[in-house]
Amino acid sequence: MRIRHWKRWLIGGAILVVLAVVGGPFVYIHFVEGSAPAPLSLSNSPGVAASPGATAAAIASVDGSWKVASGSQVGYRVSEILFGQSHVAVGRTSSIQGSFVLNGTTVESGSFTADMRMVTSDQSRRDEQFNGRIMETSTYPTGTFVLDGPVELGSLPADGVTRTVRVSGTLTLHGTKRRVTFELSGRRTGSKLQVSGSIPITFADWNIPDPSFGPISTQDHGTLEFLLTFTHA
């Protein structure tokens, strides 16, 4: 009887351990940490209003330089696994500078810089890993993107209409430069412009170390996403 009693305790203890290992992360991810924010995109953005006092002539004239304005964001999206439980990690920054030049229906040039030291997520421990061994932001404090050449829009979209074009440029992350091509969606609302897009990032291509740490493992790739608002410079 004592042996059976001991076996029942042993089996019960094993079950509790399994529940703690599997159930603990499930509760933490789904009830404590919560869902990741939606991807940055025009479809998730309410748009921007025209600046107070903007004249019809100013709104109609789109030629010239457009600079990054407040409300802009850029960041990463990476899938994580904690003891078999999937979760999406998201980090973002609004510390962005840059501009592009529009002439008629052609974007002639454009360059943008994000302060990688200002990227934050909902977990300080993740941010410490990001700034430290993963992105080494003290050594590589910025990420940049520069258009390779002119982008022909074909025609300017009407106010509030979204247009999607394919663009190419040089993306620099972690001190490594690579050419990327991706789709960019743009929308004009009054005197402001918004653009959004995402770029798949395979970490090894930019010499970025495996982001996995502790009990958390990640895929070997993630997504760089952005939603930028521009004003006429």
For tokens 């690579």, the residue is: 178
pLDDT of 32 higher than 90: no
pLDDT in tens, 142-172: 999 999 999 998 888 888 899 999 999 999 9
Looking at per-residue confidence, does 188 or 90 come out higher?
A: 90
Q: Is 160 left (phi over 0), alpha (psi -120 to 50) or beta?
A: left
pLDDT at 72: 97
Helices (H), 134-218: none
Structure tokens, 163: 């247009």
Residue 67, H or E segment: strand 64-68
pLDDT in tens, 103-154: 999 999 999 999 999 999 998 999 999 999 999 999 999 999 999 999 998 8
pLDDT at 20: 41
pLDDT at 150: 96
Query: CB-based contacts of 9: which residues, under 8 Å, 6+ apart?
Result: none
At residue 22 the predicted structure's pLDDT band, cuts being 50, 70 and 90, is: very low
pLDDT at 221: 96
pLDDT at 48: 56
Coil, helix or strand at residue 183: strand
pLDDT of 60 higher than 60: no
pLDDT of 17 higher than 50: no
Coil, helix or strand at residue 22: helix
Average pLDDT, the chain: 84
How far apart, in Å, are the Cα atoms of 62 and each of 115, 166, 197?
Answer: 28, 20, 21
Helices (H) and strands (E) in the chain, counts: 3, 12
pLDDT at 220: 93
pLDDT at 149: 95
At residue 28 the predicted structure's pLDDT band, cuts being 50, 70 and 90, is: very low
